[in-house]
Amino acid sequence: DAGITQSPRYKITETGRQVTLMCHQTWSHSYMFWYRQDLGHGLRLIYYSAAADITDKGEVPDGYVVSRSKTENFPLTLESATRSQTSVYFCASRPQGSREFFGPGTRLTVL
Amino acid sequence: AQSVTQPDIHITVSEGASLELRCNYSYGATPYLFWYVQSPGQGLQLLLKYFSGDTLVQGIKGFEAEFKRSQSSFNLRKPSVHWSDAAEYFCAVGAQDNNAGNMLTFGGGTRLMVKP
């Protein structure tokens, strides 16, 4: 199916473990984004990518790593998960000059 | 830096009543403005957007919003709320950025509850 998908949809992990959240879009949109959603903060940008092999930090990048070897994929890795990274993570993509299309979200719990 | 404030964390209205959700932004130039809705457990759905032109914009599901430059506001309105409108609403401002185009900054959200 066309669109933007995220996997897993739910994840429980332990402090110190590495976790990778996947994001895949079928539109070949140039831009992709990772946001985290926390109560009272709305959505905050973690990292974004303007094209394959081009990534940059957003508002809250610490503790996260991204890569974009292919246009359609934009994985987000928590190298050593902390409890403060318990959140709902949204991936989004956007073609040039348009607006974001959001994925369904991944709910991550770090114990 | 741009910022967005949604002063009301929770709002409760009766079904059939009118609704206005407030959004104030801070940005040095003409912003791009958005309203998104998020139903429980779901992703974000775009309700409407303002890029330029007519300051009163119409969106989906009977929503509208008015851009008021003098007040730095972009309030969302609906004349008659339906129970299915219960959700969380996010205002967002976008700024031109050479690296990422229209990077979005979101407000903290307003949770709308609808009484029967």
**Mean local confidence (pLDDT), B50-69:** 93
Residue B29 has a pLDDT of: 75
Residue A2 has a pLDDT of: 63
CB B78 within 8 A of CB B85: yes
A107, burial (CB in 10 Å: exposed 0-12, middle 13-18, buried 19+)? middle
- The SS3 call for residue B70 is helix
Divide the 111 residues of chain A into consecutive groups of 10 and give the mean pLDDT of each group: 87 97 94 90 90 92 96 97 96 84 94 95
Residue A10's closest chain B neighbor by CA? B41
Please indicate whether, in this complex, the C-beta atoms of B108 and A42 are within 8 angstroms of each other: yes
Residue B97 has a pLDDT of: 54
For residue range B77-104, what is the model confidence (pLDDT) as tens digits?
999 999 999 999 999 998 655 455 557 8
Residue B57 has a pLDDT of: 96
- The size of the A-B interface in CB pairs under 8 A is 58
